Copies of this chain bind each other. A is one copy, B any other.
Amino acid sequence: MLKKKRLFTPGPTPLLPEAQVAMSAASLHHRTAEFRQLYTRTLADLREFIGTANDVLLLASSGTGAMEAAVTNLTSPGDKVVVLSAGKFGERWRDLAKTFGCAVATVSAEYGETFAEGTVEAALSEEVRAVFVQATESSTGARHDVRAIGEAVRRRAGAAMLVVDAITGLGTTRLAVDEWGVDVIIGGSQKALMVPPGLAYMAVSERAWRRMEETSSPRYYFDLRKERKAAAKGESAFTPATSLVAALAAALDYLREAGEGSLAVGRDRLVDNAEGCAAMTRAAAAALELKLFAPRSPAAALTAILPPAGVESGKIVAGLREQFGAVVANGQGEMKGKLFRIAHIGYYDYLDTLGVIGALEQVLASLPNGVELGAGLRAAQRAYAQGVPESVAAR
């Protein structure tokens, strides 16, 4: 049979065709009225997508660039900061903060877990200048409780900036950014927004802007105050990735249509969609007697699944790719070979989800222990028929 190549990776994710066309057609100079209009509209749409009243900025970089920007703009060398780490991206916060001279205290949870009650609070104090965390940890498939973390920060570390890497969280989990006291939230183009990598975006609170007046870490390309000034005029400080901005604008238009005129509604439906895909996938895994890597706090962004005992996860990743063209992700770093990850971020639907589950069954059936074909599919269908659980949808 044909093998259509399909990405089930937690970024890059499947591209929205309308965005591909817009990207290809865009021929824009960034210092023109035409581009200023596009850029201003895109920033306003991103604000609605994020669900914030704060300033929104776009950067020509991958998400890590925006993470660096958060560290260098909000801290000075020697600042005491707390990193909440439960996977590869938590460790990236730690490495970044150390690189720029922060005194880092790390609250760790095991890979696949989220932070045990009280551990975050115990690490906080009025001396802490910033707290860094993921909304969803893409390397393990776990979701962190940003609301509770925000409450703890406000209670115990009133001076700290709360910085949330929501690169795979935005559009897959509910985030009441302003209400929960998130000072900086970070997203990336190649995730829920269905366009290729190369753009990062972030919302920045008034408190965070004030903090930048006093911080001394050196920054130039990622100087957010320069970006804010430029954005007020509909421009970026340095040459923007114009084609990706055009793609992003088209994707945001699509989400507004999906929300019948409201981008916020379109975004919520996208979150529900991810929850639905995740619920189907988790039900299938259970029926196939596969264990989840993050069973206690699973993100809707992606499902990390353990292979059957004695099977290296790379065999499943390779089987799906070679036999069916379906690209899922292996574990990262020391998790390589131990799990595989199926993403639900962005442009996935029922057919995609059922398809990858069925393909997974075929691959498992060819392994020593075998599997009953159709068991996972049936479970996924039943999960769909039941609808997304209220409690999940409202999270």
A interface vs B, CB < 8 Å?
5, 7, 9, 11-12, 14-15, 20-21, 23-32, 60-65, 67-68, 95-96, 99-101, 188, 190, 196-199, 217-222, 238-244, 321, 327, 329
Contact = CB atoms under 8 A, between A and B. Distances in A.
A238 B24 contact: no
26 contacts: A9-B31, A11-B239, A12-B242, A20-B24, A21-B24, A26-B196, A30-B197, A60-B62, A60-B65, A62-B239, A63-B238, A63-B239, A64-B220, A64-B221, A65-B221, A96-B220, A99-B218, A99-B219, A99-B220, A190-B242, A197-B240, A197-B242, A198-B243, A198-B244, A241-B241, A243-B243
B15 A29 contact: no
A197 B62 contact: no
Contacts of A30: 12, 197
A25 B23 CA distance: 10
Contact of A12 (B7, B198, B239): B239
Given A9-B31, A23-B24, A190-B242, 6 more contacts: A12-B27, A23-B243, A60-B198, A65-B238, A96-B220, A198-B198
Copies of this protein in the complex: 2
Contacts of A321: 32
A27 B11 contact: no
Contact of A9 (B29, B63, B100, B190): B29
A241 B196 contact: yes
A27 B65 CA distance: 22
B64 A238 contact: yes
A7 B240 CA distance: 16
